Structure 1
Amino acid sequence: MTGIKSRLLSGALWTVAGRGITSVIAAISTIVLARLLTPSDFGIVAIATATLAIAMAVTELSLTSALVVQDEVEIDHVRSVWTLSLLRSLGVFLIFFACAEPLAKFYGDLRLVPVLIATGVTGAISGMNSPLLALKSKQLSFKPAFYVETTQRIVAFVVSIALALELKTYWALVIGPMAGVTAAAVLSYVISPFIPKLRFLGLGHLFRFSIWLSLSRGITMLAWRSDQLIVGYFLPKAQLGLYTVADNVAAIPTRESIQPLAQTLFPGFAKIKNDPSKVRRGFALAQSTIALIAFPVAVGFALVAEPFVRLTMGDKWLGAVPVLQILCVVQAVAALTVPLQGLALAHSETRMLFRRDLIAFLIRLPITVAGLLTYGLIGLGVARLATAIIGAGLNFRLINRMIGLSALTQLKNQIRTLGAVAVMVAGLFVCHSWLRSAGIGAFPTLTSLVILGISLYALSITLFWRIAGSPDGPERELQVLVQSFIARRKR
């Protein structure tokens, strides 16, 4: 058991390290490329990448995950997974090749033809990693995945930046990712050698495991990427570029701040799923902890968006600021229901997730189109916020049905966090207005606002917690962590 615990801890460290490195590289890459290229460049490529993301999600069968949970894996099972991956990759490329010209004509921009074909190649290569790589995680060996993922990000980053500096065109956004997935695929076979053979054995079991989860992921990706395709049709490519970058940048702070916790929820809930009271308490604590982190990060980033964009990306991207601010709030709302994914998976409720995602998509699509056509990007941002609130309400009902935690209770648990965020917002608004009127530059403005925001939130949440009588909750957990850290430092 000690050996297993040691390997699990090592695996967790490698996973966190890989996630951290790739996230930092992705964030830096987005900012640097935005500085070097134009919104129009990002707009052209956004249509191709959104189409690819949807195509890959819809055809993603999670078969490698099925291999991991299967008790006995034979080599023919692995070859069957590789065979389906090959067919999927060929299908994705052929679809992109066949649809490149019609899609380019649909969007009124023939530059999309080679971009779509090249993006199809990227998608095809990305699906052809060695299937034996997934089995490493079954043996609690996470180093190989770390090496492959970080290599992909680093190669894509270096190639994209080099081409952007040299060519200063959107091709940097196309060729960089292609180089990254190629390097990752080659490395996967170096780390986990595999001799491919065509096989179709044991697919029934693999499909039964993955079908509902795959459908859910496909619908989710369709919901989150379809708006880019809609914007690309109705608005100029520069507007699409502004929206795409705003959407990407808005997600980074919130996603990365809560991801380490979110990744632990599935196995955590799985261990206690047969004890309803423990599940209810654990879910409430997880939800409140995520809110404690995500709310100030998302809302705070929205309030410093203008100096951040001006300083890091340049004045040509200032048009993205209003929609970026709205999308930051969308991230805060969405964070409230992040624990539901782990809860549902722990209870094998993958079909429920699919139904939820399908309903959310059917609600979101007409509202976002109406918002876009009425008020442009701002209308789209407001529509996204409205659908996020509706989606949160839907998720609250599902949570109540699963564990008996009412929507009102879920919201009441966040009162202290919401109060502290309100204090932070008021302070930052007053300070930002004064700094702007005084003509203070972007860097000192950004630095001052970040320091003030952190200070106001930390003091406010502590004060509200004390006033409430220091109850058990995320503040208590944070206090224990801080005290433990200080004690270790003293030793």
Structure 2
Amino acid sequence: MTSLKKKSLTGLVWDFVGKLGLQGVGFFVSIILARILLPEDFGLLAIITVFINLANVFLDFGFSTALVQRNIVTKEHYASVFFMNVIMGVFLGGLVFFTAPLVASFYEKEVLTNLIRVMSFSFVINSFGNVTRAHLRRIMNFKIISVANIISAFISGFIAVFMAYSGYGVWSLVVQILVSEILNNILIFVLSKFRFKLVFSLKAVKELWGFGSKIFLTGVLDTIFINLDSLIIGKILNPATLGYYYRSKSLENFSFRYTASTLSNILLPSLSTINNEPIVYKNTVLKLFKIISFVSFLACGVFLVGAHEIILLLFSDKWEPSVRIFQIIIFGAFAPQIFNLFYNILLSKGLSGLYLKINVFSKVLFFTNFIFLFYADLNSYLIGFICAQIIVFFTGLIVVSKKLNFKNELFYISIKNMVIYLVSIFIIFTLKQYVYLQILHIDLLISSITFLIVFLTFYFMFMKKDLILMVKEIKEVLNIKNG
């Protein structure tokens, strides 16, 4: 096994373990909080995070990604970005703090003023850790990141549950976020032992800005359109409906946080190192595309067929309105997961400008879809959003295929996966009409196992070579972990 492959697989294992631990702790805490708190509390949190996320894009300006992607990085680069992050952290924190009453007035929720003001301190907190995280990602040291994430999630989760039981409501959610960020940044700093002289170089900033500026613009577009739905739903509908939507989106994020996205997180540094080996690069991309596609479609199917049972078992009956929302969202969730691979390919090739163009095109589609929120209903908006995601997915597929001279290979693989996915779902939902015991945990077990059997059977029949590849790669990952 090559040194690059061994390092990448080691990074994969640690990233997977880290996400598994982080999401395991976070998800367990969220189950407890969802049973104690009201949907409206989560709706208020969603409104807060909209404005925090929008401002947060300007904290880094895409420099962290530029630090990871750039071939040669000096401590002068790290120090200069650190200075800019801290300055922007203080500025953004102050801006959000003083504009909080305007947000509260817009949503006619006075409680938002103090909630947003407390959350504004997150900008200063996170500004101290961005550079160190970028360095750890660059050297593919996901072990430290994983340990810091798990410890901070556990302690902050414990505090949040205690506050929720004590009747603090939405404040327990806000405190959870802040405590987690404080602990995470402290642990990253202590464990990494990465230090640099506090110097500032405008030249170093300019060298990173050429690449980082496009990432920044892409990040602005992404953040606006990712959060715009919550902003509109919270205003047009109500915080409770936004809470149901927020719960569904959170569950979708959990579904993929440590599946296909684990591979995507280590792709940029690993792909960048083989840029000058076109044959190796192309074969690596093809292998990753097959694996990520398989994992994405499989995960979507399992969560889709068991959506009703999952939500009621985990969060109780009061969250039942989230079921339909979650089913619609998860149906097309494979598209952005696989598109993350295309994103990393374009970045590793230094084609951030091309990725920006694709993002602008995608945002035009998504923006047009927001019309459904004003003139139709939430379900219509979600269906339109899925259609837009699939269109963007195929756009990225066509671009990458042309750049790497894949011809129609990626297209045919995608179509096969989609057909197997759709047929498997249809079979399971048809069977559920006749075999439904109304015992949640048993129904969930039956539907999930049946889907896996049907999906894997079709895969073995029509994509046997790809299935064997998956098994081989899993064995190699396990060997690396044991070694």
Same fold by TM-score, threshold 0.5 exceeded?
yes
* Partner amino acid, structure 2, of 1:403: L
Q: Deviations over 1:395-422 (max 9, x none)?
A: 233223322345x643322344334324
For 1:378, the equivalent position in structure 2 comes to: 379
For 2:470, the equivalent position in structure 1 comes to: 478
Q: Distance in 1 between matches of 2:257 and 2:141?
A: 25
Structure 1 position 240, deviation (Å): 0.7
Range 100-109 or range 269-278, more displaced: 269-278
Q: Distance in 1 between matches of 2:3 and 2:427?
A: 51
Relative to structure 1, the CA distance from residue 34 to residue 409 in structure 2 (aligned partners, 3 Å threshold; closer, same or farther) is same
Structure 1 position 453, deviation (Å): 1.4
Q: Distance in 2 between matches of 1:290 and 1:133?
A: 25
Is the 1:8–1:140 Cα contact (8 Å) retained in structure 2?
A: yes
> Larger relative CO (CA 8 A, sep 6+): 1 or 2?
2
Range 11-20 or range 189-198, more displaced: 189-198
For 1:183, the equivalent position in structure 2 comes to: 183
Say whether 1:100 aligns with 2:92: no
Q: Distance in 1 between matches of 2:478 and 2:185?
A: 43
For 1:27, the equivalent position in structure 2 comes to: 27
Relative to structure 1, the CA distance from residue 156 to residue 215 in structure 2 (aligned partners, 3 Å threshold; closer, same or farther) is farther
Aligned length, in residue pairs: 477
For 2:461, the equivalent position in structure 1 comes to: 463
For 1:231, the equivalent position in structure 2 comes to: 233
Q: TM-score, normalised by structure 2?
A: 0.88
For 2:267, the equivalent position in structure 1 comes to: 265
For 1:427, the equivalent position in structure 2 comes to: 427
Relative to structure 1, the CA distance from residue 194 to residue 403 in structure 2 (aligned partners, 3 Å threshold; closer, same or farther) is closer
Relative to structure 1, the CA distance from residue 187 to residue 461 in structure 2 (aligned partners, 3 Å threshold; closer, same or farther) is closer
Structure 1 position 215, deviation (Å): 2.1
Relative to structure 1, the CA distance from residue 394 to residue 484 in structure 2 (aligned partners, 3 Å threshold; closer, same or farther) is closer
Range 267-276 or range 93-102, more displaced: 267-276
Say whether 1:17 aligns with 2:28: no
For 1:49, the equivalent position in structure 2 comes to: 49
Say whether 1:317 aligns with 2:319: yes
Say whether 1:444 aligns with 2:442: yes
Alignment of 1:91-130 (within 5 A): 91-129=91-129
Structure 1 position 271, deviation (Å): 4.9
Range 57-66 or range 371-380, more displaced: 57-66
Q: Deviations over 1:328-350 (max 9, x none)?
A: 02212333433211211121001
Relative to structure 1, the CA distance from residue 338 to residue 129 in structure 2 (aligned partners, 3 Å threshold; closer, same or farther) is closer
Alignment of 1:239-258 (within 5 A): 239-258=241-260
Is the 2:8–2:270 Cα contact (8 Å) retained in structure 1?
A: no
Range 266-275 or range 422-431, more displaced: 266-275
Q: Deviations over 1:266-313 (max 9, x none)?
A: 345445544556555543443232222211211331121111111111
User: Is the partner of 2:128 in helix, strand or coil?
Assistant: coil
Is the 2:22–2:150 Cα contact (8 Å) retained in structure 1?
A: yes
Runs of 5+ consecutive residues of structure 2 not aligned to the other structure: none
Relative to structure 1, the CA distance from residue 458 to residue 273 in structure 2 (aligned partners, 3 Å threshold; closer, same or farther) is same
Structure 1 position 464, deviation (Å): 2.8
Is the 1:327–1:381 Cα contact (8 Å) retained in structure 2?
A: yes
User: Is the partner of 2:350 in helix, strand or coil?
Assistant: coil
User: Is the partner of 2:320 in helix, strand or coil?
Assistant: helix
Relative to structure 1, the CA distance from residue 218 to residue 154 in structure 2 (aligned partners, 3 Å threshold; closer, same or farther) is farther
Is the 1:18–1:149 Cα contact (8 Å) retained in structure 2?
A: yes
Is the 1:40–1:240 Cα contact (8 Å) retained in structure 2?
A: yes
Runs of 5+ consecutive residues of structure 1 not aligned to the other structure: none
Relative to structure 1, the CA distance from residue 357 to residue 414 in structure 2 (aligned partners, 3 Å threshold; closer, same or farther) is closer
For 2:81, the equivalent position in structure 1 comes to: 81
Question: Percent identity between the aligned chains?
Answer: 18
Q: Distance in 2 between matches of 1:175 and 1:487?
A: 41
Q: Distance in 2 between matches of 1:144 and 1:402?
A: 35
For 2:395, the equivalent position in structure 1 comes to: 394
For 1:147, the equivalent position in structure 2 comes to: 147
Q: Distance in 1 between matches of 2:321 and 2:120?
A: 31
Q: TM-score, normalised by structure 1?
A: 0.87
Relative to structure 1, the CA distance from residue 15 to residue 434 in structure 2 (aligned partners, 3 Å threshold; closer, same or farther) is same
Range 298-307 or range 276-285, more displaced: 276-285
* Partner amino acid, structure 1, of 2:308: E
Q: Distance in 1 between matches of 2:400 and 2:140?
A: 32
Q: Distance in 2 between matches of 1:355 and 1:306?
A: 38
User: Is the partner of 1:167 in helix, strand or coil?
Assistant: coil
Q: Distance in 1 between matches of 2:421 and 2:132?
A: 47
* Partner amino acid, structure 2, of 1:293: V
Structure 1 position 183, deviation (Å): 1.5
Q: Distance in 1 between matches of 2:140 and 2:296?
A: 30
